[in-house]
Structure 1
Amino acid sequence: MSKKKAQSMTVASVLTLAMITGCSSNNDTSSSPSAASTSTAAATKQPTATLKLAVLETYPGVTLDNKTTHYIEEKTNTKLDITVIPSGDLENKLQVMLASGDKPDIIQLSTDTLEMKLTKSNVLLPLNTYFDKAPNLKKFGDGGLWDIMKHNDNNVYTIPIRGSAIDNIPIYRKDWLDKVGLKVPTTLDEYYAVADAFTNKDPDGNGKKDTYALSAYTAGGNVDLSSMDMVFSAFGTLPGNWILQDGKLVPGAVAPGALDALKFLNKMYKEKMIDPEFITDNAARFKDKVIKGTVGAPVYRYFLMDTSNINNYYTPLKQNNPNAEFVEGGILKGPKQNGIGYRMLTQRGWLKTAITKDSKNIDAAIRVLDFLASDEGNMYENYGEKGKDYTLDNNIVKQLIKDEEIKAAGIGQLKLAFNFMYNHTSQRFQELYKFAHTIGYRNPADGLVIDDNSKATELGQFTSQQFTKMILNEGPIDDLFKDFVTEFYKRGGTDYTKAMNDAYLAKTKK
């Protein structure tokens, strides 16, 4: 096994097991023989194949010459020649490599735009044509995932890195609710009463008026308003998602209900129920305010209720105030309708793996991905070797090695056909995980791929800027919203909406 690193001026983010979450069967399958063992047995009958990989660098500065890589090589009868690329340079470097005469066998990409470009250029292998040889890979898409990944030609070209579909739900400071004598709200009117009490009835008992129901934070120069989604949902929309109306997709930002949601938030802001620093705080500051008791009723991480302290939310909360306690909430009923739920991450994934069509070792590449998609391979990639790296206590994974040792062993380093697992979390977290997925809003446009998706980012930024302006506005916002809708469509919203609807109709007709 050899490892090379693409040169870059970009400092990549460290993506560790403790920082990225995902879905799980919550079963120990580390010793499962089944398809993985069958695949391994078949592999040993073949000559060792050398595969070239160009993949995301997950552990900067950490060698891939480690026991996990060797374990994969042994199980699949391969030698892996791996080039890792920092996240900021992934797609640019990848396109340079593909343009050369020395194409990798297995690649990773992060955007639908590049995926579409590569499929149209006939660079990627249709993976579904090999599912009969790869039972684990085929099973990986159970539950409709492969339908989401299909292109208009009915082929699947990439494998998404699977993770949690929803991390943020309404959460409420239970100790504050108890103090002000209120219950978890189920309607928008009840939420307003909670927000008012959290702002005006000194729920933390410090004698100061320094608490709020809501806040938000800036990301990429724009305000991320997703922490306020319980309000948008109650009015039947979610900015940044698509709403299906009369068989057509409508952008959530301009859908009916968006104006009423903004009026409600504008009223909350005027009544000082929203932290005024939401326009300047970053994500870290927002998290700190939730943990330290400034904000008590946002849509945010249910990790705050996990005693196993995934992603380090619960322990800081308790260290700051041992009596602090959050409780989950559901979908709020609005004045005219039931809410629609909370935004879910795309099932197409934040990172995708593909095999190049011109690979001379397609069978070996399929073998590697099929093994990693198996119960055995996925358990090893998540937790390592049972008995040495982890053990089980009442079916809960207990880590036996430290975080740095996890990295050195390469556990979680090669996320090729990967399903994040939560076997190491508390029973409470696993219950919350299941609950969260029952109140998520499934975007009807999820899985649609169009030639040019660049307008999505531009329109999203424009929406954030204008929505923030309307929440802060001192006067009526009806005319502001009307002007926003007009400008939204002028800035490319018309063509973008048409492209998405064309793609939706093409996919739903099949």
Structure 2
Amino acid sequence: MKRRKLVLAAMIAAMAVPSLSAMAYDGDILTITADSDGDPFSWDTSTDKLAAMIEDKFGIDFQQSETNYYNNDFTVTQLAAVDGTLPDVFCADILYYTQEITQFIPEELVAEIPEELLDKYPLTKQLLENDAVSQVVKSMYDGYYFLPKPDSADPNIYKAERKGIFIRKDWLENVGMEMPTTWEDLYNVAHAFTYDDPDGNGVKDTYGLTGDGMGTLRYFFSSTGVSNRYWGKDEDGNWSYGALDDKNIEPLEWLRKMYEDGSIDPDFGASTWETGLQKFSSNTFGMCVRNADADWINGVAVKYYGAANPDCNPFDRIDVIPALAEAEGETPRMDGYVSCMVATMFSGEIDEEKMDRFLAYYEYLLSDEGKMLRMGLEGEDWQKNDDGTISLIRDENGNASVLATKYPCIPVTHWPSWGFEMSADPDIEFFDEYDAETKALNKTACDIRNQDPVYPEVGPLLLDDTTVTDAQAFNISSEYWTIITGTEPVADMFADMKERALSSGYADATEVVQEKAEELGW
């Protein structure tokens, strides 16, 4: 298969990670059009000190692409790729829109990153070699076509998915119960929160579980030892889709019991995370399903619960259930972290010089020095203390810098990771409020999740085969909610759903996955 590949003019020697004090920069400034993975950035070196520093040290004039593809409909990106009008560098949701792999690579719409060029950038090469999705794609297309953006540049912090159930620990104390660790515990706590007056006001006005809907709650089904949301294989090498495994029946039975009990939000099946957090923050529901890494823990505490309840320290009231076990005494389990969902790709039209210049900058962002750019500039926005810790610099009113306002180019520092390694680091004052409390709760949650993750297989998500992709039209989350709210026995309804899923495409998809897995050595 022919693929677009940049041809280097000369052999490239390995080099050390550059520092700001000694950059190999020839003085020519290259304009690189780029798409951020958030709100569009702007670039004005006359008013933005961070942009001026990057341009001076790396010789790059970043310009936001005319269309912010990451925040736009995927068809816009797809049309731009076909028309050859993608920006030089763009962000791609490769596991949500797998066409960015299965179409863009074989049709040469994106550039391959030559391995001889990667030899020049050891941190970048190491990131690719340690990234599961990168390695699967390499096995399929014989090359690297994107730079991964993991949640954390440090893979040891979040070994499992960053999901959680926020819970009112003060309510737990009021009803005399411990933190739930199993599905049975979860049911019992939800019941108590609904019927045992956990807020002590003498009125039946509280409930158990709300949150982000079935899509997120399904991550907790990993308590069974099977990844619910992904394909997997058994010890004999037989492949199947996790959501169709009979082991899912038990969690569904507990959720059915919760629904019949009236202790789960009756709108949970169609709930959004915003709605769930509003209900939780209004002191109506005692548990809420949502992401629960350090960033989200702090966000829930400050922007949601704290904002709605300004007269309390939110950490006096909230805790996190990071995973569940099948039975008492067993280890709670969560899906293992499956690598990047978001990646940085290069337009098929980019030239060698621009790719090289961008990779030099990307390599710097991966370094200990470079990763600090996402916190602004040393001496202006943060400082290193004598004990090696990092503190935010505050004004006379105690306010830290608002980086998005002070540095409109700040998204260009975010490409190598989501920065969760920074927000979890106890030696870095990352959050303006409740920094220590956030780090402590996050560590406790990670210690539980990281014990024994259920690692899924991601290869089938990237197969360029309509038999596999079309099978995903069967809405598992909706089917699960129908079972939970149904009246027939859960096992019978699950068997019926499974039969319909297999006949609608999953049986044929399983055959294709099995064949491709054997062919590619998965």
Q: TM-score, normalised by structure 2?
A: 0.76
2:11 aligns to what?
none
Q: Distance in 2 between matches of 1:57 and 1:444?
A: 25
Rate the CA distance shift 1:272–1:238 in 2: closer, same or farther, 3 A.
farther
Counterpart of 2:254 (choices 264, 274, 277) is: 264
| Greater alpha carbon shift after TM alignment, 53-62 vs 289-298 | 53-62
Match of 1:59, as an amino acid?
D
Which digits, 9 at most, give the CA deviation of each residue in 1:27-74, with x for residues without a partner?
xxxxxxx72228x84632x35252432424633474565433332222
Q: How does 1:202-241 map to 2 (within 5 A)?
A: 202-217=197-212, 223-227=213-217, 229-230=219-220, 232-241=221-230
In structure 1, how many angstroms separate the alpha carbons of the residues matched to 2:343 and 2:232?
25
Distance 1:71 1:406 in 2: 17
What SS is found at the alignment partner of 2:416? coil
> Of residues 21, 24, 39 in structure 2, which corresponds to 1:59?
39
Q: Which residue of structure 2 lines up, in the alignment, with residue 118 of structure 1?
A: 104
Q: 2-side partners of 1:50 and 1:110: how far apart?
A: 26
Aligned-pair distance for 1:286? 0.6
- Provide the C-alpha distance between the structure 2 equivalents of 1:321 and 1:263, rounded to a whole number of angstroms: 37
Match in the other structure for 1:467: 480
Deviation by residue 1:89-116 (Cα, 9 ceiling, x = unmatched): 3754444444456775433322332123
| Structure 1 Cα separation of the partners of residues 169 and 40 of structure 2 | 40
How many angstroms apart in 2 are the aligned matches of 1:289 and 1:419? 28
> Secondary structure of the equivalent of 1:494?
helix
Question: Which one of the candidate residues 27, 51, 73 is aligned to 2:55?
Answer: 73
- Report the Cα distance in structure 2 between the residues aligned to 1:487 and 1:466, rounded to whole angstroms: 10
Aligned-partner Cα distance in 2 for 1:503–1:337: 39
> Which runs of structure 2 are paired with 1:233-382 in the superposition (5 Å)?
233-246=222-235, 247-302=237-292, 312-313=303-304, 315-316=306-307, 318-319=309-310, 325-329=317-321, 331-335=323-327, 338=330, 341-343=333-335, 346-354=338-346, 356=348, 359-361=351-353, 362-380=355-373, 382=374
CA distance, structure 2, for counterparts of residue 61 and residue 36 of structure 1: 25
The equivalent of 1:4 in structure 2 is none
Q: How many pairs are equivalent?
A: 468
TM-score, normalised via structure 1 length: 0.78
Equivalent pair of 2:190/2:263 in contact (CA under 8 Å): yes
Specify whether residues 195 and 287 from structure 1 end up closer, same or farther in structure 2 by C-alpha distance, changes over 3 A only: same
Q: Distance in 2 between matches of 1:310 and 1:140?
A: 32
Code of the aligned partner of 1:427: A
1:207-263 CA deviation, whole Å, 9 max, x = no partner? 22232221244xxxxx43523654x33444453233432333322211121122212
SS of alignment partner, residue 120 of structure 1: coil
How far does residue 471 in structure 1 lie from its aligned partner after superposition?
Answer: 0.7
Note the alpha carbon deviations across 1:320-373, whole angstroms, 9 max, x for none. Answer: 755851233454332599466224564122343336476142432332322333
- Where does the alignment leave 5 or more consecutive residues of structure 2 unmatched? 1-15, 153-157, 395-399
- Say what the alpha-carbon RMSD is for the aligned residues: 3.7
Cα distance in 2 for residues equivalent to 1:299 and 1:447 = 28
CA contact (8 A) 1:229 1:238 kept: yes
Question: 1:16 maps to which residue?
Answer: none
Larger CA deviation: 438-447 vs 94-103: 94-103
Cα deviation 1:177-232 (Å, max 9, x = unaligned) = 21111212333333333232222211111222232221244xxxxx43523654x3
SS of the aligned residue for 1:479 comes to helix
* Partners of 1:91 and 1:356 in 2: CA distance: 18
1:175 & 1:201 partners in 2: Cα distance?
13
Q: Distance in 1 between matches of 2:370 and 2:459?
A: 26
- Show CA shifts across 1:264-321 (max 9, x none): 2111111112122324543212101222222224443445995687772452364275
Identity of matched residues, %: 22
Deviation at 1:451, TM superposition (A): 1.1
Counterpart CA distance in 2 for 1:429 and 1:292 is 21
Q: Distance in 1 between matches of 2:263 and 2:246?
A: 25
Aligned residue for 1:28?
A: none
Q: Match for residue 155 of structure 2?
A: none
Distance (Å, rounded) in 2 between the aligned partners of 1:104 and 1:286: 37
Output aligned runs, 1:417-496, within 5 Å.
417-420=416-419, 421-422=422-423, 423=428, 424-425=430-431, 426-438=435-447, 439=449, 441-446=453-458, 449-452=462-465, 459=472, 462-496=475-509
